[in-house]
Structure 1
Amino acid sequence: MNPKLDQYQYVSSAMLPTRWGKFQIHGFIDNELDQEHVALSYGEWNIDDVVPIRIHSECLTGDALFSTRCDCGAQLEKALQNIVQQGKGVLLYLRQEGRGIGLLNKIRAYQLQDQGMDTVEANEHLGFDADMRDYGICKLMLEKLQVSNVNLMTNNPKKGLALTSMGINVVQRTPIDHGITDDNRNYIRTKTEKLGHQFDKHLFK
């Protein structure tokens, strides 16, 4: 992946106090797609340090409305907690709702899931790929924050491959198995079996 760097632009930074600690929030824009993204940074590091990071795709229903249909909100909170506990880190928050199909299409996909489809079948029934996310802007975000070596908090190996293709050194991948409920167990099984996410198999017993 070789993103066009003039497609992406850094905008501004400011302090962002949270319940976990005082972060800095950094704004970025994808000019081609007219999408706004943010990074949250905590602590300090040297350019060669291995920095804990998470790439988190926006999920209004899980992150802000506390839905248990997915594990997104729980993973977001756990990632921020982990960053503060480790004294440094970065959360890249990408505005790619519903694995890139948008909020209203995600609601349409939810309706299809209510009728028996899984999350992949629903996206494809609506005419979308199972996962349409793009991680190109992460290169600019991490370069702006002087991060080149990462401990990536994810269950999705494709995120690590995306970073590696952009020249980011993924030193370690740390699972983030949080927010598993009876409401989303089948959803997580589908992500594991069809999208290659890596969860402990005991979660499905």
Structure 2
Amino acid sequence: MQIIQSNIANLPTKYGNFKIKAYKQNSQEHLALMSENFNPNETINLRIHSECLTGDVFGSIKCDCQKQLELAISYISKNGGMIIYHRQEGRNIGLLNKVNAYSLQDSGKDTIEANLALGFKEDEREYSIVEYILKDLGVKKINILTNNPSKIEFLEKIEKLEIVGRIPTIVEPNCYNKDYLRTKKEQMGHML
């Protein structure tokens, strides 16, 4: 696996000041957003946030992605830690296919059925870059900000990484995302 990485740079945000580092794996570019007081020798509050352009940038309320990202950034700004912005759009089916999946959802399919109808697995993400970033930055102990058991399962397999605890990232459902959240809970095992 060939990975190209940037230097660390400062990134002032509306949530506070952070450090940022980019990693390029094949055609995907991922980010590590670290609090100013980031110290890999301490237990790190970690959010692995899978890219959701429609939610993160455009504020779609068909999902809970933007709310979870905002919750994580705010929490890490106050308590320290890191967000890995995992750029695998639409559970790694890409933006074009994600919009096609949205169209199928408009006609009654849930998120899993839509992915399967397009010829994909329910979740195409892979996390090798996450392991690389954690090792590159020297992270050994984490509190994981997630509701996703697949992310926890992946992290438990990383040698010399200890999961100290889990911090839920539960947000209030709305009339547009309640079925989406129900599918995540009932079919994907999310802890909601």
Alignment RMSD (CA, Å): 1.3
| Structure 2 alignment gaps of length 5 or more | none
Q: 2:133 aligns with which of 133, 141, 150?
A: 141
Check conservation: 2:40, 2:137, Cα contact below 8 A.
Answer: no
2:35 aligns with 42
| Structure 1 alignment gaps of length 5 or more | 1-5, 200-205
The TM-score normalised by the length of structure 1 is 0.89
1:94 aligns with 86
Q: 1:175 aligns with which of 168, 180, 185?
A: 168
Superposed CA deviations along residues 23-60 of structure 1, whole A, max 9, x for unmatched, are 111010113xx211111000335544211010001100
- Counterpart mapping for 1:95-174 below 5 A: 95-167=87-159, 168-174=161-167
- Give the length in aligned residue pairs: 191
Mapped to 2, the partners of 1:45 and 1:113 lie a distance apart of: 40
The share of aligned pairs that are identical, in percent, is 45
Amino acid at match of 1:29: K
Amino acid at match of 1:102: G
Mapped to 2, the partners of 1:112 and 1:144 lie a distance apart of: 40
- Counterpart mapping for 1:6-21 below 5 A: 6-21=1-16
SS in 1 for 2:191: coil
Superposed CA deviations along residues 146-193 of structure 1, whole A, max 9, x for unmatched, are 211000000001101111212221111111002521110110000111
Mapped to 2, the partners of 1:57 and 1:46 lie a distance apart of: 23
Of stretches 173-182 and 102-111 in structure 1, the one that deviates more from structure 2 is 173-182
Superposed CA deviations along residues 120-154 of structure 1, whole A, max 9, x for unmatched, are 00000000000010111112211222211000000
4+ runs of 1 displaced by more than 4 Å? none
Mapped to 2, the partners of 1:161 and 1:7 lie a distance apart of: 24
